[in-house]
Amino acid sequence: MLEEVKEPLDPLATAEAWMEAGRKVAIATVVETWGSAPRPVGSHLVIDGDGHFEGSVSGGCVEGAVVAEAADVIAEGRPRMLEFGVADETAWRVGLSCGGRIRVYVEPLLG
């Protein structure tokens, strides 16, 4: 029988491995995009209780904000919906510089 090859850079496999190791995990998923969005619907970013993460929901523009929200999601044990876009100059820091808009669903991985 052939050996199973570990998938590199696979967020859902990482989430399972983290869970098996007893780590708390949140899963963020792109559920909707408008305009030019860097990652397609269905893309995942997984985050553990210490802020380690794997995967992406954008080109790196909003991951920081999602990781911060994930800490709350893990603490509360309830999912939440986040929306990112470029509304004005001040929104640029946690928005998408490409001009698109995305909705990201962040949920706890329940044991």
DSSP H or E run through 48? strand 44-48
Per-residue DSSP letter, 10: -
> How far apart are CB 93 and other proteins at their closest, in Å?
27
Encoded tokens for 49: 């209780």
> How far apart are CB 63 and other proteins at their closest, in Å?
19
Amino acid at 22: G
Contact call for residue 109 and other proteins (CB under 8 A): yes
Spell out, one character per residue from 45 to 84, where the chain touches other proteins: x when CB under 8 A holds, - when not: ---------------------------------xx-x---
What order do you get walking across the sheet with 101-108 strand by strand?
53-55, 44-48, 25-34, 101-108, 80-84
> How far apart are CB 2 and other proteins at their closest, in Å?
5
End-to-end CA distance of the chain: 31
> Is the CB of 32 or the CB of 93 nearer to other proteins?
32
Residues that bind other proteins (CB under 8 A): 2-9, 12-13, 15-16, 19, 27, 29, 31-32, 40-42, 78-79, 81, 105, 107, 109-111
